[in-house]
């Protein structure tokens, strides 16, 4: 696990008769709502990966199209283009051969760019909620490639590299239940995979599900930090000046002290009443822009490709940023979303989660990306497993001291505490790294966890290794 800040960059190495076979799972980073998520190490990390692998990757897995998972493919495209890549896997939602997926992703991008431009135009007048929404959208589009092509985000450049940038490699697009086509080198080594997510394209409603309540509660509510974002309900051509269009009597009910007897309103009373009405309307407006941005963000997270590896008796689970809808599909074997607190986990899911050796903590430790039902099953394991969380403290939300249950911080404290009690948990921001002779200190103070059965952790210059 490379420490890149708020983003995922994992290098998985399998040994076959002493020969290393390498897989990269995501390569991204994002500043986040606090603008502190990019610590400036991803270029050095990619260079190290290229050196470590001698420029050869058997497989690249891109879980989904958020910048915190793919920005490195755009920034370091020249390095990746020089590498020999055997295969590329993506979510079915990236398929250029699925008309529904292609159309939806295009519409999603147009929506994100449109909202992003709207928020950018607000400048310093934007509310905290609008600024938060803008950051969600920047994660969906990536940083502008250049000023002249602001709508062409770096995410598009990353996707272009992964889909068309490697000679003789045609990406494979998978959904839950698909039989993955592993490169022959990995098959010969004894690697096997199972695709657990995302749900099929026709299960669109599952993709919208953010907060899974099955298993008694959840580690995070749907509320995020930030004030309500305002949105204009009508286009400018339909707006009028109420002071000019309506007589003063239209605002009589908004007088601060309603009169017992009717009398014409003075100009001052009309002005005050009108302002009170406008203020009330603004407060009553739906948080449409912020809700739209959050839903778009959730939809992309739920597109995550979820991959379960087995190798020489070891079981490894990589879930990307899968949120509730993605988990619900394979945990409960359902095509119909719900948020009930009851439900029976399938035997197949139990087999996977009660026997894990490694878990890549979902969505940087966000509480709506590792359901309690899943954690409870992981806890049933007789021996400790390794868990790695690529995250950066203080980037998304902060814990509310007056109401810790609100759960606005990422990573979510109670979730990581629970995982740490059941697993050997390490987070990327607890390891110091050195970038171009510059030291970057840990965000949290913690020692490497104790060795797991048959394995260990070791710190590197830019990374932390987990040996199984």
Residues of the chain scoring pLDDT < 70: 145-152, 204-248, 260-261, 281-289, 336-342, 397-408
CA atoms within 13 A on the CB side of 100: 7
- Catalogue the E-assigned strands of 2-72: 9-16, 19-27, 56-57, 59-61
- Output the six-digit token pair for 58: 């058997």
Give the model's pLDDT for residue 285: 44
Number of H helices, E strands in the chain: 15, 17
Supply 217's token pair.
């509660």
In this predicted structure, what is the pLDDT of residue 215?
43
Which helix (H) or strand (E) segment holds residue 121: the answer is helix 99-122
Q: What is the pLDDT of residues 99-150, one digit of tens each?
A: 888 888 888 788 787 777 777 777 777 777 777 778 888 898 887 755 344 3
pLDDT of residue 91: 97
Query: How confident is the model at residue 268, as a pLDDT?
Result: 85
How far is the CA of 136 from the CAs of 87, 187, 391, in angstroms?
30, 38, 16
The β-bridge relationship of strands 464-467 and 358-360 is: unpaired
Q: What angle do CA 354, 360, 364 make, to 5 degrees?
A: 130
Going by the DSSP 8-state scheme, the letter that residue 153 receives in this structure is B
Burial annotation 117-136 (CB, 10 A radius, 16+ → b, else e): ebbeeeeeebbebbbbbbbb
- Among the listed residues 220, 214, 144, the one whose alpha carbon sits nearest the alpha carbon of residue 397: 220
Bridge partners (DSSP) listed for residue 358: 316, 386
Q: Who's near 119: CB < 8 A, 6+ residues apart?
A: 126, 130, 131, 133, 134, 137, 289
Rg (CA), the chain: 25
Beta-bridge mates of residue 377: none
């Amino acid at each position: 696990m490379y420490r890149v800040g708020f983003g995922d960059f994992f290098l998985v190495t399998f040994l076959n008769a002493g020969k290393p076979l390498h897989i990269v799972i995501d390569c991204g980073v994002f500043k986040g709502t606090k603008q502190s998520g990019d610590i400036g190490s991803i270029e050095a990390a990619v260079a190290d990966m290229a050196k470590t692998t001698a420029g050869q990757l058997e497989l690249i897995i891109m879980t989904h199209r958020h910048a915190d998972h793919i920005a490195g493919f755009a920034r370091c495209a020249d390095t990746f283009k020089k590498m020999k890549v055997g295969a590329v896997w993506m979510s079915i939602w990236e398929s250029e051969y699925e008309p529904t997926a292609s159309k939806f992703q295009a519409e999603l991008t147009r929506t994100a760019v449109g909202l992003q431009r709207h928020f950018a135009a607000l400048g310093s007048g934007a509310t905290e909620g609008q600024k938060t929404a803008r950051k969600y959208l920047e994660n969906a589009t990536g940083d502008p490639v250049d000023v002249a092509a602001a709508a062409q985000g770096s995410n598009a450049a990353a996707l272009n590299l992964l889909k068309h940038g490697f000679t003789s490699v045609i990406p494979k697009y998978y959904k839950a239940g698909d039989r993955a086509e592993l490169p022959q080198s990995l098959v010969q080594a004894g690697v096997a995979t199972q695709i657990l997510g995302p749900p099929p394209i026709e299960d669109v409603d599952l993709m919208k599900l953010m907060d899974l309540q099955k298993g008694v509660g959840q580690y995070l509510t749907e509320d995020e930090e930030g004030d309500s974002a305002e949105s204009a309900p009508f286009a400018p051509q339909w707006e009028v000046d109420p002071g000019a269009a309506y007589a003063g009597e239209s605002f009589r009910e908004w007088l601060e002290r309603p009169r017992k007897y009717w009398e014409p309103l003075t100009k001052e009373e009309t002005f005050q009443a009108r302002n009170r009405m406008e203020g009330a309307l603004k407060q009553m407006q739906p948080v449409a822009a912020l809700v739209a941005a959050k839903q778009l963000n959730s939809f992309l997270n739920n597109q995550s490709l979820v991959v379960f590896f087995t190798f020489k008796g070891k079981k490894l689970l990589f879930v990307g940023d899968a949120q509730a809808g993605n988990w619900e599909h394979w945990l409960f074997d359902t095509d119909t979303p719900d948020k009930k607190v009851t439900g029976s986990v399938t035997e197949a899911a139990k087999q996977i989660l009660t026997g894990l050796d490694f878990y890549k903590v979902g969505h940087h430790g966000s509480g709506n990306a590792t359901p309690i039902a899943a954690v409870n099953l992981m806890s049933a394991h007789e021996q400790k497993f390794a868990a790695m969380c690529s995250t950066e403290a203080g980037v998304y939300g902060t814990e509310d001291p007056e109401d810790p249950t609100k759960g606005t911080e990422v990573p979510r404290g109670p979730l990581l505490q629970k995982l740490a009690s059941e697993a050997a948990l390490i987070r990327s921001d607890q390891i110091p790294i050195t970038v171009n002779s510059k030291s970057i200190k840990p965000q949290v103070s913690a020692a490497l966890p104790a060795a797991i059965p048959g394995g260990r952790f070791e710190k590197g210059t830019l990374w932390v290794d987990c040996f199984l």
